[in-house]
Structure 1
Amino acid sequence: MIRKLSSFLKNNWFVLLISVIFLVGIFLRSFHFSDWMHFELDQERDAHLISKAIENGPAELPLLGPRASGSFLRLGPVFYYLEYLSALAFGNTPQGIAGVVLLFSIASLPLFFYFFRIYFDRRISLMLLSLYAVSLYFVMYSRFAWNPNLLPFFILLFFYSLLRIIKTDEKNKGKWLLICSFSLAITTQLHFVAFISLPVIFAFGIIFKRTRINWRYWLGFIFILLLFYSPMIINEYKTGGENAQEFFKAITEKSGDGENVSIVKKAVIDYIKTSRYYSVLLTGRDDSDFLRINFEDIKNQNTNCKYCWRDFPLGIMSSLFFLVGIWLSVWIWRKESDEQKKDFILLNLVWIFFVFLLFVPLALEISPRFFLLSAFSPFFLLGVVLNYFFRTKKAIVSWIIFLILISLGIQSVKMRFNELSRAPFENIWSQKDVILKEKKRVTLEQEEMIIAYMEKISRENGEPIFFEADPEYSNAFEYFLEKNPALFDDISSKNIYRQGNYFSIQSINSLEEVYLGKLSKKFTLLDATQFGTLTVVRMQPKEEAITEDAKDFNEPPKKKSRSKAPKRYVWREIFDQGFINEDDEDE
């Protein structure tokens, strides 16, 4: 029996090991997926839009997607369409809508392994896959709905298919071209930088390798792109190219940000941030940020910034890792004789360099989500370093590096999961969050508990709900109240009603400041109920502050002012009006 088991393990160790890694990755991405979900402004926006389409039909889906950060430019709508399909399959709930993100995150695990097997052996590919599976960065971005969260899968699919296209002896170049077109059409609608960069990388690969493919496949390539971009094309025709104008504005305005900062200084900041976030992707920890150090005032640094020097050693290490990884990559590329492996190294280097250049003008506003574009880049550099030590008979160094990184990754996930599990019940202190930029740990479970509490009181006395909350969570609470449904409104600065249940939802740290400020002038505190990191203050309006007895909820809602973003049609409007441009119709 023992001999058979030993023989089985010896013959099947690879399948067993990779299965365990996949299961760990799936577990970390799906464990308490619903309860610990991140549900704030952008997620509520999507959920509201998708709910409308589920209730009234797919004709309510828009022809443009969400706005690109910091501009009025709108991305493509493909993420909304995927969310709609997810809601049909898994339910019209925040969890159901986010199901598509979870699925593609899980699918990225085997794709990640196949991608790195193009160059690295099974041992290093498994080591890199293990780190990717437990990376807190990728675990967290797989647990809620947001358009950039699909980037890791589709970026990997794009590069994998491109490498198959330019492979000299590849027999299915045409089929891989169609797959590449599919991934390109989706990825470029998920992020502004992807829209700019990926077509350039595709053109570089095709032209550099002088790839020849049957023209019929090229027609298919163009057809797929036109099909996925047809909603945007129709919307552009109807609006006279408003979104295209915003695209050119976004390029010039983003490039012009921080005009007082020299391009050299921006490049240095970009380099420090890139190496820092590469470290975050690999370890889940942010102990390498030395941008806070004021090198122009070193004398007073220790007194002005107590913790600034703490991150300095790891900051230097992450910066050196980036440089050494690049240098080793160039070195092995020059020595590599296998054409496909040479292409793999070159394409990775070109991508790292190109993204770095694109980030230089944006250096002052680089945020964590930007590095979803570089999902595999730090793992590539790490693989190059590990491979170097294995080849030079210093395997022990590679194993030490791997064990340190995997330990840090597991520890980071464990700490975050512990905080998420306690957030609805304890006012926990959490370290600065470099991944999601959360000020406080607030979960979907916590928000639903607060909604249940307010609705219970409303049902008992039959009076409507009036509430205020931090802007990050206010829309989320509105979404749940609308879904139930319940009579509710924001707390008005002008109208205070005698009939109503008044609540203020605040983080405990800001509670006293908020209540002793504006609220105490018009309200009397009845009680405060703690829901972990958030507290719900129940209030009663003071007699002198009351303006009316009850709010008339039958009054039509006030029209919202039109956004400065380009007009976004829904399919119903297109079907009702036809494809004739409104300006042409007026003529």
Structure 2
Amino acid sequence: MRLHIRTILTNLTRIARNHWVVIVILITATALRLVNLESQVTFLGDQGRDARIMRDIILLRDLPAIGPPTSIGQIYSGPFFYYLMAPFLLLFGLNPVGPAYGTVLLSVLGLAAIYVITLRLYHKGVAFCVVLLMATSWINITYSRFSWNPNPMPYFSFLTIACYLYLHQKPQSIYRSILLGAVAGLSLQLHYLSGFITLGLLILHAIRLMQSKQKKAIALSFLAIAGGGIAVMSPLLLFELKHSFLNTNNLITLFSNMAKSEGGPSYFSELSTTITQGVFYITQTQLPPLLAHLFFWSVLLFAGIKAKRSSSLFLGINVWLTALFFILFALLDSPRHPHYYGAIYPSMYVLLASILPWHKKCYRCKVIIAVVCIFLIIQNLRAAQPLLVPGGNQIRAAQETAKNIGDNITKGPYQITTIPKTETDDHYRYYLENWYPQYTLMGPFETDQPEELFVLCFETDCHKVQDDNQWAIASFVDKKMIKEFKAGRATVYQFQHDRDRMNR
């Protein structure tokens, strides 16, 4: 036993000695993600909804078969994210800051995994550069500081690429094929845009099938990939069967509506926007479209040349997937939000790092590498300056609002709603359900009459809330306002039924 422990300690010491700079970078990355975390952590409607679902998983009240819906098209992802983050909510005693800390941990572990994968499959200098740039990336830092299903996507997408390369070494392996399908399925559950990565890898595998003499073995590999994907996606597939392929129909409708129509932006206009925004997100430098195109295609070209000269399948695949992702993403008529690029961020950094002049005995080359890295780090850390300012503590604000409402509840079941409807209320519901279980809080889509209604108005003029046409208010019969009070940013109006009017 002592010998075993001594061997482990020896190996850890060796790893620390050989990779101490990367360890320092990971510690720095952790610090950047933790500074003022609790005061700045995002806890709004989406996070409140997720926390309610994770809580119900922990308490075994409900084991969901679907995940969060997309903001566009209401397409439900798989439930993997909920099960991934629920242990962190439990670890922190149902405090919703737990999943935020869990996201930080996954981010740092993801950076370590990207370093190891790039180191083993390509080049130590490139691996070091990638983890350095991602550790200090403002976009990566931002999306590592709160709980949201797209946030772990970069790491699972890169792991999918690694699984494909693992399969490529032995393409007839059923085990490796199942592993690829399973990891791709998990990545797809975090965000559907990671499907572009999976599609690109399947195209490469199909080409391998057509070129191979072992067509039967590789065909079986395709079935195994599908089997692995179906296994991890099975809860969502069962949901589809039970609800007449609701998700599939919504997905078809979404892509049909997004198809380019006459008079709309041209494909090349969308491609230009996609590239310009993508370049901005990784460099934090707003280039004119022409320069952004020149930068993007130059990186792809030089990385492609380097992949061919070095016969690097790893680099070649990242070139292919980056080009394919942008080409396909440009087909979608949707905003270019930073998290939409999550699946391709690691590959973009790999390409950028790969074209730097990695020559051991070249002093000028080292200077160029240092200048590029320092420039990108400065640009990103300049954007990260808001981290130094304590935030408004959205968790505490949600707690205070929920307590103000809860202390005024006199009977149940009760209902809450917001004006305008774009203001969400799941973060308030989370604490109301936790702290006031003696009163039943009705779901937002229930049609039964509650005994009390609380309307949270976030507008400047709230004098006519009782006449608002949203369902929860309009359907509350014979309403009588009994109290008006402040709760955080909202003015709350408490209604009960006017029994005298009801009995007439």
TM-score, normalising length: structure 2: 0.76
Structure 1 residues 469 and 485, CA gap change in structure 2 (3 angstroms): farther
SS of corresponding position for 2:344: coil
Tell me the distance in 1 between the aligned counterparts of 2:321 and 2:329: 12
Q: 1:236 to 1:524 in 2, by over 3 A?
A: closer
Deviation at 1:348, TM superposition (A): 0.9
Per-residue CA deviation, residues 31-68 of structure 1 (Å, 9 max, x unaligned), is 454443212222222222333333344xx223333333
What percent identity do the matched residue pairs reach? 17
User: What does the per-residue CA deviation read over 1:124-170, in whole Å, with 9 as the maximum and x for residues that have no partner?
Assistant: 42222112112221122122222212211211111112122224xx6
**1:296 matched to which residue of 2?**
none
Instruction: Give the deviation of 1:220 after TM superposition.
Output: 5.5
Does the 8 Å CA contact 2:67/2:77 hold for their aligned counterparts?
A: yes
What is the rounded CA distance, in whole Å, between the counterparts of 1:273 and 1:331 in structure 2?
25
| Number of the residue aligned with 2:397 | 446
The residue identity in structure 2 corresponding to 1:138 is N
Aligned residues of 2:77 and 2:191 also touching (Cα < 8 A): yes
Are 1:324 and 2:298 counterparts? yes
Q: Secondary structure of the residue that 2:59 maps to in structure 1?
A: helix
In structure 2, C-alpha distance between the alignment counterparts of 1:329 and 1:117, rounded to whole Å: 17
The one-letter amino acid of 1:479's match is Y
Matched, 1:379 2:349: yes
The separation in 2 between residues aligned to 1:504 and 1:240, in whole angstroms, is 36
Counterpart residue type for residue 27 of structure 2:
L
Please state how far the C-alpha of 1:350 moved relative to its aligned partner: 1.1
Q: Distance in 2 between matches of 1:35 and 1:551?
A: 47
Distance of 2:34 and 2:101 partners within structure 1: 10
How many angstroms apart in 2 are the aligned matches of 1:551 and 1:445?
Answer: 40
The one-letter amino acid paired with 1:448 is Q
Q: CA deviation at 1:99?
A: 5.4
Q: Distance in 1 between matches of 2:260 and 2:500?
A: 51
Q: Is the 8 A contact 1:502 1:538 kept in 2?
A: yes
Q: Deviations over 1:152-195 (max 9, x none)?
A: 1211111112122224xx69966543432221121122222223
- Among candidates 51, 55, 61, match of residue 59 of structure 2: 55
Determine which of 238, 243, 251 is the counterpart of 2:247.
Answer: 243
Q: Please name the residue that 2:446 is paired with.
A: none
Q: Out of 343, 362, 372, which is 1:401 matched to? A: 372
Indicate the RMSD between aligned Cα atoms, in angstroms: 4.3
Give, in angstroms, the shift of residue 107 of structure 1: 1.8
Partner of 2:180: 180
Offset at 1:95?
A: 3.0
State the one-letter code of the partner of 1:349: V
1:36 counterpart (40, 50, 58) = 40
- 1:130 aligned partner: 132
Do the aligned residues in 1 keep the contact of 2:177 with 2:228 (CA within 8 Å)? Answer: no
Q: CA offsets, 1:344-375, max 9 Å, x none?
A: 22211111111112112225522222111112
**Matches of residues 197-236 of structure 1 in structure 2 within 5 Å?**
197-205=197-205, 207-208=207-208, 221-236=225-240
Moved more, 104-113 or 31-40: 31-40
User: 5+ residue gaps in structure 2?
Assistant: 1-12, 443-450, 469-479
SS of 1:379 mapped into structure 2: helix
**Residues 446-482 of structure 1 deviation map (CA, whole Å, 9 limit, x = unaligned):** 3334444555x649x9999977466344332232222
In structure 1, what is the equivalent of residue 382 of structure 2? 411
Per-residue Cα deviation, 1:236-286 (whole angstroms, up to 9, x for no partner)? 33334343333332332222468522223223323323323333xxxxx4x
1:365-420 Cα deviation digits (max 9, x unpaired): 2222211111213212320332368879433122111112122333333x23234x
Tell me if 1:360 matches 2:330. yes
SS in 2 for 1:423: coil
CA 1:145/1:258 → structure 2, altered by over 3 Å: closer, same or farther? farther
Alignment of 1:494-509 (within 5 A): 506=458
- Equivalent residue letter for 2:182: F
Asked if 1 retains the 8 angstrom alpha-carbon contact of 2:41 and 2:146, the reply is yes
TM-aligned CA distance change 1:418 to 1:238, over 3 Å:
same
Q: Residues of 2 paired with 1:364 and 1:273: CA distance?
A: 13
The count of residues paired between Structure 1 and Structure 2 equals 464
Give yes or no for contact 1:527–1:537 (8 Å, CA) kept in 2.
yes
**Distance in 1 of aligned mates of 2:16 and 2:152:** 32
In structure 2, how many angstroms separate the alpha carbons of the residues matched to 1:248 and 1:527? 46
